[in-house]
Amino acid sequence: QVQLVESGGGLVQAGGSLRLSCAASGRPFSMGWYRQAPGKQRELVATITRGSRITYADSVKGRFTISRDNAKNTVYLQMNSLKPEDTAVYYCRAFGMGPEFWGQGTQVTVSS
């Protein structure tokens, strides 16, 4: 069982920045960030493996950076140049070997 604790969400103006963190209780193989806006399906934002292989959604490329500290079992999402359309609940996911686990979500709201 892996527990994920997310932090760092909040309210920011368009063009601003936020940094999300997700601390895992175990040593997940892959970790990632997903988001779900009201009335929409949950979607991929970015993922990173233990070997730092990274995937980004096209909508965040060049603005968001995912990184990982394997010693702390923590994944980060640095979000720059935020847009109102980035407003969503952001979820951390641990996956890759066995069952997957999700965090409780953290709200990110970008005002125009």
Q: What is the pLDDT of residues 23-76, one digit of tens each?
A: 999 888 899 999 999 999 999 999 999 888 999 999 999 999 999 999 999 999
**Residue 100 backbone dihedrals phi, psi, to 5 degrees:** -100, 155
Q: What is the per-residue pLDDT for 21? A: 98
C-alpha triplet 34, 51, 7: angle, nearest 5°: 35
- Would you place residue 96 in the very low, low, confident or very high pLDDT band (cuts 50, 70, 90)? confident
What CA–CA distance (Å, rounded) separates 46 from 30?
A: 11
Q: Which amino acid is at 32?
A: G
Q: What is the per-residue pLDDT for 5? A: 94
What CA–CA distance (Å, rounded) separates 1 from 10?
A: 28
- Would you place residue 2 in the very low, low, confident or very high pLDDT band (cuts 50, 70, 90)? confident
What CA–CA distance (Å, rounded) separates 15 from 31?
A: 26
Question: Strand 4-7 and strand 64-69: pairing?
Answer: unpaired
Q: What is the per-residue pLDDT for 45? A: 98
What 3-state DSSP class applies to 25? coil
